Amino acid sequence: MKIPINIPIVGKEEIIAVTSIIKNGALTSAANQGGKHVQNFEKSVTSFVKSKYAIAVNSGTAALQAALYALDIKNGDEVLVPSFTFVATANAIVSIGAKPVFVDILKENYTMDTDDLEKKITKKTRAIIPVHLYGNMANVDRLAEISKKYNIPIIEDSAQSLGSKYKGKHSGTFFEMGCYSMYPAKVMTAGEGGFIVTSNKKLRDKLLMIRNHGMVHGYDTKVFGLNLRLPEISAAIATVQMKKLSNFLKIRKQNAELLSTLLSNLKVTLPHQRKNENVNWYLYTIAIEKRDKLLKKLNEKGIGAASYYPTPIHKTPFYKLNTKLPVTEWASLHVLSLPIHPKVTQKNIEFIAKTIRDIL
């Protein structure tokens, strides 16, 4: 029995959509508004997350880069970001010449510690990028207070939290911009892709230029931009996936609830939703002593458990910083994610739970 941690779930509808585009021959568009399928996808996003605008790009990393460019973040500026996340969040900052300043996390849900965040604000701080890790929402109430107090814009890294909500409001829609990923392992996919949501028209218009070499009507570059466009094939896949997303999230929630029930009464810290929060259950993440021993045994049984992230960004060879982030370093040694994606059956969940119980 092989149970992967996450897999793309695509069917006939996606194949039909892709085939139609290939036959038509319009594989991409350099138009300011994007191609037909890009525009259709963007409309489906705004309908789902309730933002005014959505701007499709070719990866979650590109979404973060474009958002930073849109805020005019420049060489030497500082951007506050957690170290306990995928390296793309920090790499996007470095790629535009700015400096990531790493912030610790909370033990309760692995998102940014806003007390540590406030301590690290300096005159050079130009933006904050909280990460809604595993689908868990960062403390947006406190972040809003800090943003207002210091007049610092916030870009939400919502790569892992499409569908997560706090007080009924979607992840990615609380501040200036929210950035999402459509990598194959996410809750829905475009193959590769990403998008930014905003309700600020000026930012939206600027983002449309940034994703397309800074142009509006062709060869009239007005701002610095790159080729961050989402191909029509990817947009068509994503549009179909958006129609399936609510059902994907429903199954993830059911699997998470069952797994929590079956793992209760063990010496394991189980994930939980905070008050007024609905998480998308992108990754069902537990914390446990002797994590690596359990991980090895689960993998030997065909259970695609994984550790996200065994090496915090500030400890990677490229960054190699001596920053003290005690909770981040604790989490890197103790967290373990278990499969609960829509292809995981009730029988699979029962097998995962029984295997963990037997090992412990």
Same-domain check for residues 176 and 30: yes
- For residue range 104-157, list pLDDT tens digits in order: 999 999 999 999 999 999 999 999 999 999 999 999 999 999 999 999 999 999
Q: What is the 3-state secondary structure (H, E, C) of 156-174?
A: EECCCCCCCEECCEECCCC
Same-domain check for residues 308 and 225: no
pLDDT value at 1 more than 80: no
Of the residues 212, 240, 268, which one is the last residue of a structural domain? Answer: 240
338: pLDDT confidence band, cut at 50, 70 and 90?
A: very high
Same-domain check for residues 175 and 276: no
The residue with tokens 């394991």 is: 268
Mean pLDDT within 316-328: 95
| Domain CATH number, residue 21 | 3.40.640.10
Torsion of CA 175, 90, 126, 80, to 10 degrees: 80
In a domain, 6, yes or no: no
233: pLDDT confidence band, cut at 50, 70 and 90?
A: very high
306: pLDDT confidence band, cut at 50, 70 and 90?
A: very high
In a domain, 327, yes or no: yes
Distance between CA atoms of 278 and 179, rounded to whole angstroms? 19
In a domain, 109, yes or no: yes
Please list, residue by residue across 63-77, b when 16 or more beta carbons sit within 10 angstroms of its beta carbon and e when fewer do: bbbbbbbbbebeeeb
Of the residues 183, 213, 240, which one is the last residue of a structural domain? Answer: 240
Structure tokens at 284: 């069902």
Same-domain check for residues 225 and 339: no
Crossing angle between the packed helical segments 232-263 and 36-49, to the nearest 10 degrees: 30
Same-domain check for residues 191 and 288: no
Q: DSSP secondary structure string, 48-75?
A: HH--SEEEEES-HHHHHHHHHHHTT--T
Same-domain check for residues 163 and 289: no
Same-domain check for residues 199 and 140: yes
| Domain CATH number, residue 290 | 3.90.1150.10
What per-residue confidence (pLDDT) applies to 224?
96
In a domain, 101, yes or no: yes
Count of all residues that appear for the chain in the document = 360
What per-residue confidence (pLDDT) applies to 129?
98
What per-residue confidence (pLDDT) applies to 305?
98
What per-residue confidence (pLDDT) applies to 293?
97
Q: Which range among 24-33, 238-247, 334-343 shows the weakest confidence by mean pLDDT?
A: 24-33
Please list, residue by residue across 2-21, b when 16 or more beta carbons sit within 10 angstroms of its beta carbon and e when fewer do: ebebbbbbbeeebeebbeeb
User: Is pTM, for the whole model, over 0.85?
Assistant: yes
Same-domain check for residues 132 and 224: yes
In a domain, 329, yes or no: yes
Same-domain check for residues 67 and 31: yes
CB atoms within 10 A of CB 180: 30
Which residues, 6 or more positions from 315, have their beta carbon under 8 angstroms from its beta carbon? 83, 321, 329, 332
One-letter amino acid for residue 267 of the chain: K
The residue with tokens 């119980």 is: 357
- For residue range 262-304, list pLDDT tens digits in order: 999 999 999 999 999 999 999 999 999 999 999 999 999 999 9
Same-domain check for residues 219 and 298: no
Distance between CA atoms of 147 and 305, rounded to whole angstroms? 37
Torsion of CA 22, 37, 41, 193, to 10 degrees: 50
In a domain, 194, yes or no: yes
Task: Bin 344: left if φ > 0, else alpha if -120 < ψ < 50, else beta.
Answer: beta
For the chain, the domain total comes to: 2
Of the residues 240, 268, 294, which one is the last residue of a structural domain? Answer: 240
Q: Where are the alpha helices (DSSP H) in the chain?
A: 12-24, 36-49, 60-70, 88-95, 114-119, 140-150, 201-210, 232-263, 291-300, 326-334, 346-359
Q: For residue 310, with 0-12 CB atoms within 10 Å meaning exposed, 13-18 middle and 19 or more buried, which class applies?
A: middle
- For residue range 29-87, list pLDDT tens digits in order: 999 999 999 999 999 999 999 999 999 999 999 999 999 999 999 999 999 999 999 99
Which residues, 6 or more positions from 108, have their beta carbon under 8 angstroms from its beta carbon? 274
What is the Cα 309 distance to its own chain's centre?
14
Same-domain check for residues 25 and 123: yes
What percent of the chain has pLDDT above 90? 99
In a domain, 155, yes or no: yes
Distance between CA atoms of 107 and 21, rounded to whole angstroms? 46
What per-residue confidence (pLDDT) applies to 339?
98
Mean confidence (pLDDT) of the chain: 97
Mean pLDDT within 187-198: 98
Distance between CA atoms of 345 and 28, rounded to whole angstroms? 37
Range of the domain at 82: 12-240
Q: Taking a C-beta distance cutoff of 8 angstroms, is the pair 341, 188 a contact?
A: no
In a domain, 3, yes or no: no
10: pLDDT confidence band, cut at 50, 70 and 90?
A: very high
Same-domain check for residues 59 and 202: yes
